[in-house]
Structure 1
Amino acid sequence: MNLGNCPNCGSLFVKSPFRDICESCYREEEEAFEKVYRFLRKRENRMATMVQIVDATGVKESLLMKFIKSGRLQLAQFPNLGYPCDRCGKLIREGRLCANCLTDLNKQLETLQQEEEMKKRHQMRSVYYTKKDDEN
Protein backbone atom coordinates (compact mmCIF):
# COMPACT_ATOMS: atom_id res chain seq x y z
CA MET A 1 0.00 0.00 0.00
CA ASN A 2 1.42 3.36 -1.05
CA LEU A 3 0.18 6.37 0.93
CA GLY A 4 0.50 10.00 -0.08
CA ASN A 5 -0.95 13.43 0.50
CA CYS A 6 -3.52 14.73 -1.97
CA PRO A 7 -1.98 17.62 -3.96
CA ASN A 8 -5.36 19.43 -3.90
CA CYS A 9 -6.44 19.25 -0.27
CA GLY A 10 -3.49 17.67 1.55
CA SER A 11 -5.42 14.75 3.02
CA LEU A 12 -3.79 11.33 3.28
CA PHE A 13 -4.94 8.78 0.69
CA VAL A 14 -3.92 5.49 -0.89
CA LYS A 15 -2.16 6.26 -4.18
CA SER A 16 -3.09 4.30 -7.25
CA PRO A 17 -1.83 4.29 -10.82
CA PHE A 18 -5.28 5.49 -11.92
CA ARG A 19 -5.75 8.43 -9.55
CA ASP A 20 -3.41 11.19 -8.41
CA ILE A 21 -5.84 12.74 -5.90
CA CYS A 22 -7.96 11.60 -2.95
CA GLU A 23 -11.48 10.21 -3.35
CA SER A 24 -13.15 13.42 -2.18
CA CYS A 25 -11.24 15.62 -4.65
CA TYR A 26 -11.83 13.04 -7.38
CA ARG A 27 -15.60 13.31 -6.83
CA GLU A 28 -15.34 17.12 -6.99
CA GLU A 29 -13.39 16.89 -10.25
CA GLU A 30 -15.99 14.54 -11.70
CA GLU A 31 -18.77 16.98 -10.79
CA ALA A 32 -16.79 19.80 -12.41
CA PHE A 33 -16.27 17.70 -15.54
CA GLU A 34 -20.00 17.01 -15.75
CA LYS A 35 -20.72 20.77 -15.49
CA VAL A 36 -18.27 21.51 -18.29
CA TYR A 37 -19.50 18.65 -20.43
CA ARG A 38 -23.17 19.67 -20.04
CA PHE A 39 -22.22 23.24 -20.99
CA LEU A 40 -20.23 22.20 -24.07
CA ARG A 41 -22.77 19.62 -25.19
CA LYS A 42 -25.13 22.44 -26.16
CA ARG A 43 -24.55 23.37 -29.78
CA GLU A 44 -24.46 27.11 -29.06
CA ASN A 45 -21.60 26.64 -26.57
CA ARG A 46 -19.26 24.54 -28.73
CA MET A 47 -17.40 27.64 -29.95
CA ALA A 48 -16.77 28.83 -26.37
CA THR A 49 -13.30 29.91 -25.31
CA MET A 50 -11.58 28.87 -22.09
CA VAL A 51 -12.58 32.15 -20.40
CA GLN A 52 -16.22 31.75 -21.43
CA ILE A 53 -16.32 28.19 -20.06
CA VAL A 54 -14.75 29.28 -16.75
CA ASP A 55 -17.27 32.14 -16.45
CA ALA A 56 -20.26 29.95 -17.31
CA THR A 57 -19.38 26.91 -15.18
CA GLY A 58 -17.18 28.24 -12.38
CA VAL A 59 -14.64 25.49 -13.08
CA LYS A 60 -11.01 26.60 -12.76
CA GLU A 61 -8.94 27.00 -15.92
CA SER A 62 -6.27 24.67 -14.54
CA LEU A 63 -8.86 21.92 -14.16
CA LEU A 64 -10.13 22.51 -17.70
CA MET A 65 -6.57 22.14 -18.97
CA LYS A 66 -6.26 18.89 -17.02
CA PHE A 67 -9.40 17.59 -18.76
CA ILE A 68 -7.98 18.58 -22.15
CA LYS A 69 -4.49 17.18 -21.57
CA SER A 70 -5.87 13.89 -20.26
CA GLY A 71 -8.05 13.58 -23.37
CA ARG A 72 -11.37 13.83 -21.58
CA LEU A 73 -12.30 16.88 -23.67
CA GLN A 74 -11.63 16.29 -27.35
CA LEU A 75 -10.38 19.52 -28.93
CA ALA A 76 -11.53 18.44 -32.39
CA GLN A 77 -15.10 19.12 -31.26
CA PHE A 78 -14.29 22.51 -29.70
CA PRO A 79 -12.32 24.73 -32.09
CA ASN A 80 -11.73 27.62 -29.67
CA LEU A 81 -10.21 25.54 -26.89
CA GLY A 82 -6.55 24.84 -26.29
CA TYR A 83 -3.85 24.89 -23.62
CA PRO A 84 -0.60 26.83 -23.22
CA CYS A 85 2.70 25.80 -24.78
CA ASP A 86 5.03 24.54 -22.03
CA ARG A 87 7.72 26.97 -23.16
CA CYS A 88 6.09 30.26 -24.22
CA GLY A 89 2.46 29.99 -23.13
CA LYS A 90 0.93 30.40 -26.62
CA LEU A 91 -2.38 28.55 -26.99
CA ILE A 92 -1.92 25.14 -28.68
CA ARG A 93 -4.15 22.19 -29.46
CA GLU A 94 -1.73 19.26 -29.45
CA GLY A 95 1.64 18.24 -28.05
CA ARG A 96 3.52 20.21 -25.44
CA LEU A 97 5.16 22.90 -27.57
CA CYS A 98 3.90 25.33 -30.20
CA ALA A 99 5.34 25.18 -33.72
CA ASN A 100 7.62 28.19 -33.14
CA CYS A 101 9.15 26.78 -29.96
CA LEU A 102 9.55 23.36 -31.54
CA THR A 103 11.36 24.90 -34.54
CA ASP A 104 13.56 27.00 -32.25
CA LEU A 105 14.50 24.02 -30.07
CA ASN A 106 15.30 21.91 -33.14
CA LYS A 107 17.58 24.69 -34.45
CA GLN A 108 19.34 24.88 -31.09
CA LEU A 109 19.84 21.10 -31.10
CA GLU A 110 21.26 21.20 -34.63
CA THR A 111 23.66 23.98 -33.64
CA LEU A 112 24.77 22.03 -30.57
CA GLN A 113 25.35 18.88 -32.65
CA GLN A 114 27.40 20.86 -35.20
CA GLU A 115 29.52 22.36 -32.40
CA GLU A 116 30.12 18.88 -30.93
CA GLU A 117 31.16 17.54 -34.34
CA MET A 118 33.57 20.45 -34.83
CA LYS A 119 35.11 19.82 -31.39
CA LYS A 120 35.64 16.15 -32.25
CA ARG A 121 37.26 17.04 -35.60
CA HIS A 122 39.50 19.60 -33.92
CA GLN A 123 40.56 17.10 -31.25
CA MET A 124 41.41 14.54 -33.91
CA ARG A 125 43.62 17.07 -35.73
CA SER A 126 45.38 18.02 -32.51
CA VAL A 127 46.88 14.59 -31.96
CA TYR A 128 50.66 14.70 -32.44
CA TYR A 129 52.73 11.67 -33.26
CA THR A 130 56.27 11.65 -31.95
CA LYS A 131 59.15 9.44 -32.92
CA LYS A 132 60.73 7.42 -30.16
CA ASP A 133 64.37 8.26 -29.49
CA ASP A 134 65.57 4.69 -30.08
CA GLU A 135 64.19 4.70 -33.66
CA ASN A 136 66.73 7.31 -34.88
Structure 2
Amino acid sequence: YYTLLEMNLLETNHTRIFAEIHKNGRIFRSAEDVADWIDGKGTTAEAFLEAFNSTNVQRRVQFADALARQFQAASVPALVVNGKYMINVSRQVSTIQMLDIAERLIANDPDDAGTATSGKPAGG
Protein backbone atom coordinates (compact mmCIF):
# COMPACT_ATOMS: atom_id res chain seq x y z
CA TYR A 1 0.00 0.00 0.00
CA TYR A 2 2.59 2.55 1.09
CA THR A 3 4.91 1.64 -1.78
CA LEU A 4 2.17 2.19 -4.34
CA LEU A 5 1.20 5.41 -2.59
CA GLU A 6 4.81 6.62 -2.71
CA MET A 7 5.01 5.78 -6.43
CA ASN A 8 1.67 7.48 -7.23
CA LEU A 9 0.39 4.11 -8.45
CA LEU A 10 -2.16 3.38 -5.74
CA GLU A 11 -5.19 4.66 -7.61
CA THR A 12 -4.49 2.58 -10.71
CA ASN A 13 -3.48 -0.58 -8.84
CA HIS A 14 -5.46 -0.68 -5.58
CA THR A 15 -8.50 -2.49 -7.03
CA ARG A 16 -6.25 -4.73 -9.09
CA ILE A 17 -4.17 -5.89 -6.12
CA PHE A 18 -7.26 -6.21 -3.89
CA ALA A 19 -8.83 -8.53 -6.47
CA GLU A 20 -5.62 -10.51 -6.82
CA ILE A 21 -5.57 -11.17 -3.07
CA HIS A 22 -9.25 -11.51 -2.23
CA LYS A 23 -10.76 -12.92 -5.42
CA ASN A 24 -7.87 -14.91 -6.83
CA GLY A 25 -6.52 -16.05 -3.46
CA ARG A 26 -3.02 -14.81 -4.14
CA ILE A 27 -0.68 -14.75 -1.15
CA PHE A 28 2.24 -12.36 -1.41
CA ARG A 29 4.94 -13.72 0.88
CA SER A 30 7.55 -11.06 0.20
CA ALA A 31 8.18 -7.71 -1.40
CA GLU A 32 9.78 -9.62 -4.27
CA ASP A 33 6.50 -11.50 -4.87
CA VAL A 34 4.64 -8.21 -5.12
CA ALA A 35 7.36 -6.72 -7.33
CA ASP A 36 7.18 -9.65 -9.74
CA TRP A 37 3.39 -9.40 -9.90
CA ILE A 38 3.30 -5.60 -10.38
CA ASP A 39 6.05 -5.57 -13.01
CA GLY A 40 4.53 -4.10 -16.18
CA LYS A 41 1.54 -2.57 -14.38
CA GLY A 42 2.82 0.99 -14.43
CA THR A 43 6.24 0.21 -13.02
CA THR A 44 9.05 -2.31 -13.03
CA ALA A 45 9.91 -4.84 -10.36
CA GLU A 46 13.17 -2.99 -9.75
CA ALA A 47 11.50 0.40 -9.29
CA PHE A 48 8.92 -1.15 -6.96
CA LEU A 49 11.62 -2.70 -4.76
CA GLU A 50 13.57 0.55 -4.69
CA ALA A 51 10.48 2.42 -3.48
CA PHE A 52 9.60 -0.39 -1.05
CA ASN A 53 13.02 -0.11 0.59
CA SER A 54 13.00 3.70 0.65
CA THR A 55 13.16 5.62 3.90
CA ASN A 56 9.74 7.20 3.30
CA VAL A 57 7.95 3.89 2.82
CA GLN A 58 9.71 2.17 5.71
CA ARG A 59 8.92 5.11 8.00
CA ARG A 60 5.23 4.96 7.04
CA VAL A 61 5.13 1.20 7.65
CA GLN A 62 6.75 1.61 11.07
CA PHE A 63 4.31 4.37 11.99
CA ALA A 64 1.30 2.30 10.89
CA ASP A 65 2.60 -0.70 12.81
CA ALA A 66 3.05 1.41 15.94
CA LEU A 67 -0.50 2.77 15.63
CA ALA A 68 -1.93 -0.72 15.15
CA ARG A 69 -0.12 -1.87 18.29
CA GLN A 70 -1.17 1.21 20.25
CA PHE A 71 -4.83 0.77 19.36
CA GLN A 72 -4.64 -3.03 19.42
CA ALA A 73 -6.21 -3.15 15.96
CA ALA A 74 -6.36 -6.84 15.17
CA SER A 75 -8.53 -6.62 12.06
CA VAL A 76 -9.64 -4.32 9.28
CA PRO A 77 -11.50 -2.22 8.66
CA ALA A 78 -10.89 -0.22 11.80
CA LEU A 79 -11.23 3.53 12.19
CA VAL A 80 -9.46 5.62 14.80
CA VAL A 81 -11.13 8.96 15.47
CA ASN A 82 -9.20 11.88 16.96
CA GLY A 83 -6.57 9.46 18.23
CA LYS A 84 -8.95 8.33 20.99
CA TYR A 85 -11.77 6.16 19.68
CA MET A 86 -11.45 2.96 17.70
CA ILE A 87 -14.41 1.63 15.72
CA ASN A 88 -14.40 -1.92 14.32
CA VAL A 89 -16.81 -3.86 12.18
CA SER A 90 -18.72 -6.40 14.26
CA ARG A 91 -22.02 -8.22 14.27
CA GLN A 92 -23.54 -5.06 15.73
CA VAL A 93 -21.65 -2.49 13.62
CA SER A 94 -21.52 -2.54 9.81
CA THR A 95 -19.01 -0.62 7.70
CA ILE A 96 -21.68 1.99 6.92
CA GLN A 97 -22.48 2.35 10.62
CA MET A 98 -18.75 2.77 11.32
CA LEU A 99 -18.76 5.93 9.22
CA ASP A 100 -21.90 7.25 10.93
CA ILE A 101 -20.35 6.64 14.36
CA ALA A 102 -17.11 8.31 13.27
CA GLU A 103 -18.99 11.37 12.02
CA ARG A 104 -20.85 11.65 15.34
CA LEU A 105 -17.62 11.31 17.30
CA ILE A 106 -15.92 13.96 15.22
CA ALA A 107 -18.88 16.33 15.58
CA ASN A 108 -19.23 15.73 19.32
CA ASP A 109 -15.66 15.30 20.54
CA PRO A 110 -15.42 16.52 24.16
CA ASP A 111 -12.04 18.08 23.37
CA ASP A 112 -13.82 20.16 20.75
CA ALA A 113 -16.40 21.54 23.25
CA GLY A 114 -18.95 18.77 22.67
CA THR A 115 -19.83 15.44 24.27
CA ALA A 116 -19.06 12.10 22.63
CA THR A 117 -22.28 10.20 22.00
CA SER A 118 -20.88 6.78 21.25
CA GLY A 119 -17.73 4.82 20.66
CA LYS A 120 -15.18 3.11 22.80
CA PRO A 121 -12.05 4.91 23.97
CA ALA A 122 -9.10 3.56 22.03
CA GLY A 123 -6.98 1.11 23.94
CA GLY A 124 -9.73 0.61 26.50
TM-score past 0.5 threshold? no
Larger Rg: 1
Larger relative contact order (CA 8 Å, sep ≥ 6): 2
TM-score normalised by L of structure 2: 0.26
